Chain A
Amino acid sequence: MTIGALIYGAVALYAIGLVLYLLKREQLSFGALGIGFAAHTAYQIWRAWLGGVFIPNGMVDGVFLLPWAIAGVIILLRLFGDRGTGWLSGLVPLVIFGVFALVYPKGMIPPTPNKLTLWAPTFFFTEAIGHACFYLGAWYALQSIINKSETGAFHMVVVWGFVAYSLSQIVGAIWAYNGWATTFRWGSRHLQSAVIWCFYATYLHLRYMPGWGMRARARYAAVGFVVVALCTFGSHLNEMRFPRIGG
């Protein structure tokens, strides 16, 4: 058994946490989430040595970093967010993305020299935080629609996601210029990143529009789940065919 197996343990703990949450054992559920997150963190750090030499890019592969970021955001929300909001229901998308990580090729795509810069992991890290907040924001928005809640708890998650995602776009532009001599490349990856940014920029303007109350905004935020998935999973699925090392 290697450290690489920790990802299986982490996802199993997330699943156990979800079952406990459904059984209304919130403290135990949070405990399972915390231990799973610790195991997942160890796995992410271990990934930096997938090439047999330390390369931080391995730690920030989106498919594996996304569930880690979701778990981290849920923990922060549970610790510092409003009480009684049901943050732990975020275990549902967490388990879904965790299972996807389990079936995904675990190795690292051999990095090209223009990816061996700290801008690259910084970009992927901030992007994953943004995606995590968007998915969770969409999930909590869906919950608020189902529960007919008017608290708008999802809004704060989406706003922080927008901040992290905007930061990733700035970092990504700097990296793109240093690595490829242009801040924006006319390709599907950059265009779809811009689509996500525009979607959430639109969301932020909804509160100033007549007829867009909390429930309407919740519906819009919930659609964000599909938008982010459509704009990111294409490249994840495409990269499944790439040669990889380690893992």
Chain B
Amino acid sequence: MKRIWNFLGDVRVTFWLLIAIMATMYAGSLLASIDYKLFDGMNGRAVQDWFLETGITRLAYTAWVPFLFALFGAFGINTVACTSSRFVAVLARRRSLSVRRLLVLLSPSLIHVIFLVILAGHFATFVVIEQVRAPLSEKGRFELPDKSGLTVEKIEYENFPDSSRLAGRVSQVRVALLPDGGGGERVVTEFTRPASYRGYDLHLDMMRKRENRDAPRPAQATPMPKKSNIDDETCNKEKLYHIGHFKPTNRPELYLVATRDPGLPLLAIGFAIMLSVMGFYFANYRSAE
């Protein structure tokens, strides 16, 4: 049993797992740049749902995704085994060490524990995330997954100053939403400043005009380009997502995104503690030697 445990926590296993993870992610990044739209469908969805619905039909492109999850699973086990062995080894020496030295020696192990928390947070995000996206229009209604609704009261666009080279381009959008029944408090959301409502974070996003032909669209929306224009090979590129809707003459089409991400608290706690422990370690590791 001990031999198995030692093997699982062996740093050589860590090395080869990380190499395999790197190779898999790099291959995946190349495939994602070839077919951006395919992999963009994974964002904001439970990865298993995406895989069973879409990924499985394109295995030549997507087989790396479950393989990557398997590698990360093995990496998690390796990190648990390695870290716990080191914890035990350091704690066994605690009587011969000053408190400061002990904390410095434990810091790398603690960083690994926090890394596991962050890994768990990402995993929770990937498999449990709940996200809905729908277009916004004045007086339109947005329904959350729990069937409660919000009505758009007002949309305010803020542009860059007319005197600037960015004149006519949108710099910010403020959307006021009223809960169903009109009794609740008004919810205001802006770009990069999501609002919280009934456990959901409400983000704004912009219409990816050319790519999302099949997405639901408000009645007054501009017609989509003809199929021949949107399916040519130059259209399925990240840059069109990036700039396609930012022509000064073309006001972005707004979307509201409601997200409930159970991985987020784990990530937030993990990031905060990780920074603190790393700061403590680097401030003290020389003086504690």
Contact = CB atoms under 8 A, between A and B. Distances in A.
Are these two chains actual partners, yes or no? yes
Interface of A: 50-53, 55, 109-110, 112-114, 116-117, 119, 163, 166-167, 170, 173-175, 177-188, 191-192, 194-195, 198-199, 201-202, 205-206, 208-209, 230-231, 234, 238-239, 241-243, 245-246
Interface of B: 11-12, 14-15, 18-19, 21-22, 25-26, 28-30, 32-33, 36, 39-40, 42-44, 122, 125, 129, 131, 160-161, 163-166, 169-173, 191-194, 201, 203-206, 238-239, 242-243, 246, 257, 259, 261, 263-264, 267, 271, 274-275, 278, 282
Given A53-B166, A192-B26, A234-B33, A181 B267 contact: no
A195 to B, nearest CB: 5
A187 B238 contact: yes
A208 B85 CA distance: 14
A126 to B, nearest CB: 12
Nearest to A179: B192
Given A166-B278, A177-B264, A181-B131, A187 B164 contact: no
A52 B160 CA distance: 10
Question: Which 7 pairs from chain A and chain B are nearest by CB?
Answer: A52-B164, A113-B191, A191-B29, A53-B164, A117-B192, A188-B33, A186-B42
Given A188-B32, A242-B242, A167 B275 contact: yes
Contact of B25 (A183, A185, A194, A241): A194
Contacts, number: 159
A201 B82 CA distance: 15
B64 to A, nearest CB: 10
Contacts of A205: 11, 14-15, 18
A113 B173 contact: yes
A175 B42 CA distance: 19
A180 B205 contact: yes
A183 B125 contact: yes
A182 B160 CA distance: 27
Contacts of B205: 114, 180-181
A226 to B, nearest CB: 12
B192 A109 contact: no
B172 A116 contact: yes
Contacts of A182: 43-44, 125, 129, 131, 259, 261
8 contacts: A113-B173, A114-B204, A181-B203, A182-B43, A183-B263, A187-B29, A199-B22, A246-B165
A195 B172 CA distance: 33
A185 B131 CA distance: 14
A199 B23 CA distance: 10
A191 B18 contact: no
B129 A187 contact: no
Given A52-B166, A183-B264, A116 B238 contact: no
Contacts of A231: 26, 29
A200 to B, nearest CB: 10
B122 to A, nearest CB: 6
B44 A110 contact: no
